[in-house]
Amino acid sequence: MTKLLAALEAGGTKFLCALGTDDGELRVQTRIPTTSPAETTEKAIRFFQEQQASFGEVAALGIAAFGPLDLNPQSPFYGHITSTPKPGWANADLLGSMARAMNVPVTIDTDVNAAALAEWRWGSAQGLDPVVYLTIGTGIGGGALVNGRPVHGLVHPEMGHILIPHDKGIDPFPGSCPFHGDCLEGLASGPAMERRWQKRAELLPQDHPAWRLETHYLALGLTTIILSLSPERIILGGGVMQQGHLFPLIRAEVRSLLNAYVQAEEILGGMDDYIVPPALGEKAGIMGALAMACSLV
């Protein structure tokens, strides 16, 4: 028998709320603009309460959230958003405010760990280990599953902030990350592209040199991730990756950077099935929240 579950994708610009079932079917959804923590969570709670009145009680809630998050269940700040620059949200108790109102088991993880989980369970990474999911958009975030479980550790992966080679002779842009300057996110996120080229990334034509540079930075980051974690598949989502022409360019440059050192057919063969877009598309995050709720029942 399928169980009714609640899923929340808490993003910096919108909260997606959905009911779904443990076979991966989403039933009813809504979208709430992200304003203050109190107002946004209150609207999310009201949505879930109204839907439960129509469809019946949910068995659990999964939350896939922007971060950084405190994911240590022993911490007094478990489930809080921590050092975000987003106004009003630093130290917001997202898990607690939802859990107190919902009165069902609730779990939380990063949006990218959740998306990796959804792709592993229902998408393009079934049966693979490890799996990495990267989003390239307003920020760059990376999640990882090992043996089907999201990696937490000290906090959780923050792959967007890894340090990559940056030739300032070719690209004098100093980087846009307030913490690290020219880390991967500081060089290759959507806002970094916009500041460097003074134009929104999606308005830059495919033959603009911006895309060669973007390919270069993403390939450097992916090469380091491959060498660190040896993933069996890497999924690239997010607004910047809507530029589908980047995929073959990135694959070719990663292959060139690895230079046949990693002897695996997935890489030497061209990587068409190795560096891929999410099979679940824009639903990877909310489906990840649903997959997390599944793990509670």
What residue ranges bind a copy of itself (CB under 8 A)?
A: 68, 70, 82-83, 129-130, 142, 144, 146-147, 149, 151-159, 161-166, 179-180, 220, 223-232, 257, 259-264, 266-267
Q: Which is nearer to a copy of itself, 79 or 231 (CB)?
A: 231
Q: Which is nearer to a copy of itself, 44 or 271 (CB)?
A: 271
Q: Which is nearer to a copy of itself, 38 or 227 (CB)?
A: 227
Q: Which is nearer to a copy of itself, 54 or 147 (CB)?
A: 147
Q: How far is the CB of 50 from a copy of itself (least distance, A)?
A: 36
Q: How far is the CB of 177 from a copy of itself (least distance, A)?
A: 9
Q: Which is nearer to a copy of itself, 14 or 161 (CB)?
A: 161
Q: Which is nearer to a copy of itself, 97 or 223 (CB)?
A: 223
Q: How far is the CB of 153 from a copy of itself (least distance, A)?
A: 3
200: buried, middle or exposed (CB in 10 Å: 19+, 13-18, 0-12)? exposed
Q: How far is the CB of 208 from a copy of itself (least distance, A)?
A: 25
Single out the residue of 285, 204, 199 nearest to residue 238, CA to CA: 285
Q: How far is the CB of 268 from a copy of itself (least distance, A)?
A: 11
Q: Which is nearer to a copy of itself, 22 or 185 (CB)?
A: 185
Cis ω before 87 (30° cut-off from 0): no
| Six token digits for residue 182 | 């020219």
Dmax over Cα atoms in the chain, in whole Å?
62
Single out the residue of 107, 151, 144 nearest to residue 234, CA to CA: 144
| Identity at 231, one-letter amino acid code | P
Cis ω before 76 (30° cut-off from 0): no
Q: How far is the CB of 221 from a copy of itself (least distance, A)?
A: 9
Q: How far is the CB of 18 from a copy of itself (least distance, A)?
A: 28
